Structure 1
Amino acid sequence: MEQDERQPYAASFGPAAAAYAEHRPDYARAAVRWALARSPGPRVLDLGAGTGKLTGVLAAARADVVAVEPDPAMLTELRRSLPAVRALPGSAEAIPLPDASVDAVLAGNALHWFDMAVAGPEIARVLAPGGVLAGLWNVMDDRVEWVARLARVGGSAVVGPRDTPARWRTATARAHLPDTGATARFGSPEQAGFPHGQRRTADSLVATLATRAGVLVMPERERQAALGRIRAFLQTEPATARGEFTLPMQSCVLRVRRL
């Protein structure tokens, strides 16, 4: 998807900021530890931080974290839920931090929205030598049979090119990494996946899926029809029909080191 095609999807989250904050999952602690394992220090930028789902995990891990988010509504939710965290308006293409001021740049379900032709040099600028860039994505684990059936019912609006482990691994193998030319060099990308889960009910999982960009940009009638099909499936699927259940996921990480 080209940058101008991505923009309506990337801009769709603001009107759903409160629902995003309420229903989106956090990230597996093991995934965050792996993302930071090669970082030369504790200073971490959560870039495209949204409502703070990754920021909160970083803060709990005692990282020296600063969050940057372009959408005012998302930033408001982040500041409300994490008032002790420094949170700034800004974007991947215009990061409001000094040169070499962070040891790691992490992005939770956000790296694919960046215009890397512009963001790549900006990320390289704020990263200290030896610093780490890592993208994290929460994906549904369709190796579990009922999750695979849910993916088929939800269709492409719910299960995009990075939304299952196999799709994610293929989509990120060579994508979403900075091409900074002579300004900085990065090492070879590394991928890893870590088990994760989110406690849901049929209704709250529908609410979670309703915050996905592919659903948010649908015309209202199509959106309600798609969510209705998902709700009907969840209410009749034995694994999800009775009270709370765990949605099997993986927190997948793409990591690269600034040389």
Structure 2
Amino acid sequence: MMLSLSFGSEASAYARHRPDYAQAAARWALEFAPGSRVLDLGAGTGKLSAMLVALGVDVVAVEPDPAMLAELGRELPTVRALPGSAEAVPLPDASVDAVLAGNALHWFDMAVAGPEIARVLTPGGILAGLWNVLDDRVDWVAALEKVSGSAAIGPRDTLSSWRAATAGLLNPGNEIVDRFGASEQAEFPHGQRRSADSLVATLATRAGVLVMPEPERTATLHEIREFLAGRSETSAGDFTLPMLTGVLRARRLRR
């Protein structure tokens, strides 16, 4: 199974356990948008769409996975939700003022998606990716990363790896340089209340874990659970998981 297509098998678990996004991050992403029409591209179960609805913008969601799209419809029945992908967006030219992608931009084939995103954006419109990342400047989080392995906590899943992995996604030299200006990054604190059980359930929705053979998946999650049981920060009930929402944004050129 392709990693990008693995989430639909656990769509309801994804909806329950994946974190939302920091409102400050979404506001920063939309700061220079010329209007309030926003496309949530690769919308999944609607985690980012829900945040955008709360901010009062006009949201349309596009998602390629039928199971994820169905879950989005159940969670957000008032949001216009369409089947489609970043490489084939089912919207007219210049029909949105911003395109946001929550934990999804790295899945896009930018050689195809870049021109397609530029097509649906108005001149001066915003393209932004948002990622929820663990704050590995905190000792126990850094230790959790080592125990969990790259399948559960991989590229872009911690602050340090996110900064490195996303810095070049929209930079000059790639396929969309002639359509977008230079990109910029920012991070916003976004701690999440978790228990050991709910954190294990969250990590179980990671793409690398979803595609593991069942014995390996069970062993990995058991090792994570044992680690959490042995740490003072996480062994006595609910705790705050130190997280941030990282944002990468660029503006469509007006030419």
Out of 151, 164, 186, the position equivalent to 1:170 is 164
Tell me whether 1:179 sits opposite 2:171 in the alignment: no
Measured after TM superposition, the shift of residue 80 of structure 1 is 0.4
Measured after TM superposition, the shift of residue 176 of structure 1 is 5.3
Out of 7, 12, 15, the position equivalent to 2:6 is 12
Question: TM-score with structure 2 length normalisation?
Answer: 0.96
Tell me whether 1:210 sits opposite 2:208 in the alignment: no
Residue equivalent to 2:186:
192
Contact 2:20–2:47 (CA under 8 A) maintained in structure 1: yes
Measured after TM superposition, the shift of residue 180 of structure 1 is 3.6
Q: State the distance in 1 between where 2:121 and 2:6 align.
A: 29
Measured after TM superposition, the shift of residue 222 of structure 1 is 0.7
Out of 28, 40, 48, the position equivalent to 2:42 is 48
Measured after TM superposition, the shift of residue 103 of structure 1 is 0.3
Out of 241, 245, 255, the position equivalent to 2:249 is 255
Residue equivalent to 1:112:
106
Residue equivalent to 1:232:
226
Out of 123, 143, 150, the position equivalent to 2:137 is 143
Tell me whether 1:93 sits opposite 2:92 in the alignment: no
Contact 2:44–2:72 (CA under 8 A) maintained in structure 1: yes
- SS state of the match for residue 29, structure 2? helix
Q: State the distance in 2 between where 1:243 and 1:172 align.
A: 34
Q: State the distance in 2 between where 1:153 and 1:234 align.
A: 10
Q: State the distance in 1 between where 2:50 and 2:28 align.
A: 16
Contact 1:111–1:176 (CA under 8 A) maintained in structure 2: no
Contact 2:180–2:251 (CA under 8 A) maintained in structure 1: yes
Residue equivalent to 1:3:
none
Query: Given residue 133 of structure 2, which amino acid in structure 1 is its aligned partner?
Result: V
Query: Given residue 234 of structure 1, which amino acid in structure 2 is its aligned partner?
Result: L
Give RMSD over aligned pairs. Answer: 1.2
Measured after TM superposition, the shift of residue 175 of structure 1 is 1.9
Residue equivalent to 1:58:
52
Query: Given residue 28 of structure 1, which amino acid in structure 2 is its aligned partner?
Result: A
Residue equivalent to 2:77:
83
Q: State the distance in 1 between where 2:159 and 2:201 align.
A: 22
Q: State the distance in 2 between where 1:118 and 1:93 align.
A: 5
Residue equivalent to 2:238:
244
Contact 1:112–1:176 (CA under 8 A) maintained in structure 2: no
Query: Given residue 85 of structure 2, which amino acid in structure 1 is its aligned partner?
Result: S
Q: State the distance in 2 between where 1:224 and 1:201 align.
A: 19
Residue equivalent to 2:68:
74
Question: TM-score with structure 1 length normalisation?
Answer: 0.94
Measured after TM superposition, the shift of residue 185 of structure 1 is 1.8
Identity of aligned residues (%): 71
Segments of structure 2 that go 5 or more residues without pairing to the other structure are none
Tell me whether 1:161 sits opposite 2:149 in the alignment: no
Segments of structure 1 that go 5 or more residues without pairing to the other structure are 1-6
Q: 1:185-220 deviations in whole A, cap 9, x for unaligned?
A: 211010000000111110110000000001111111
Measured after TM superposition, the shift of residue 161 of structure 1 is 1.6
Tell me whether 1:152 sits opposite 2:153 in the alignment: no
